Amino acid sequence: MNTPLRTLLASALLFAPMFASAAPAALTPEQTFDLYARALLEDDAAATRSLNEALKPAFSGEDALTPTPGGLAKALSEPWLTVLATTGAKVDPAAAEALYATALKGSQCRATRSSVEDNEYVDDQKIAKVDFSCQLVDLSSVRPLFAASLSDGSPATRTRFTEAYTKALQSGTRRPVTGTLTLYTAKDNAYWYSGNFDDLVGPVLGQLAPFEDWLQDAEAAKAPKVTGVPGCDLLLQQHRACVAKIAPDQVSGVDAMAEELKAKAQVQSPEEMTQECKALRPIAEMMWTDECA
């Protein structure tokens, strides 16, 4: 799931131009966000055209955004097809892509408000924090079936899960999921742009295809209790096991890390600790080699 998403975002990434027209911004931060959401998540060609038209002065008349139609739905469908294959069910790539395309079109991520402030790193430029809300399927009733498919592993149990998940995507109830995307201005504050879409696309994909998080939570529940926060305890268990293999003389560093996180867990909320350990994970994983697999 992570690899195709990164590839997709990289292909759609809008880089900040060095120079921009001095014309006044044609779009507000909220309007800019809505066009991004419609273009990237809903395959809305009209929104892509409108956004590119607004940004042309800063890109020498060229298109700034060129998303691949259906690309995100395809990226979501590929791991799902692998899951379906384990049940013995007929695998239909076109149907899987259509399933996710419909779910993405229904996401309806829209800006709710924005706040504008000076960009402390670039003189005479602004940043806008745009809060948004999406309407995404509620998969809470599917999660126990996913857990059962892990513990049981039989084709029948996996089929119950895949059927329930498919039905939820097609017609399940929706719930609001919120987030914040940062937009930037270029020279003379001529327009708003984003250079990183993770904060927009991530919450949507995390809600539509949460299997990696669910799997990690299941593994975390079995990790030795150190901080009392499952995500942190799993990270510590995995990091210790890896370091013990590749650099046993550095295990004391893992112990120090554990003590620091344990102390923080006494004063921070589980939610704060979970976010901190999510941020630590990619840093730790950079040290892991194939021996840790």
- Res. 189 pLDDT band, cuts 50 70 90: low
Mean pLDDT for 206-233 is 89
Residue 4's pLDDT is 45
State the angle between helix axes of 198-208 and 71-85 in degrees (0 to 180), rounded to the nearest 10: 30
pLDDT tens digits, one per residue of 83-122:
888 888 788 999 999 999 999 999 999 999 999 999 888 8
More confident residue, 6 or 142: 142
Question: What pLDDT does 22 receive?
Answer: 37
Give pLDDT tens digits for 165-185: 999 999 999 999 999 999 998
Predicted pLDDT at 187: 55
Q: What is the pLDDT of residue 3?
A: 44
**Cα(155)–Cα(150) distance, integer angstroms:** 11
Contact 165, 139 (CB under 8 A): yes
Q: pLDDT tens digit string along 194-205?
A: 878 889 999 999
138 pLDDT higher than 50 = yes
The alpha carbon dihedral of 15, 19, 22, 23 has a sign of: negative
- Asked whether the predicted pLDDT for residue 82 surpasses 90, the reply is no
Strands 174-185 and 110-118: unpaired
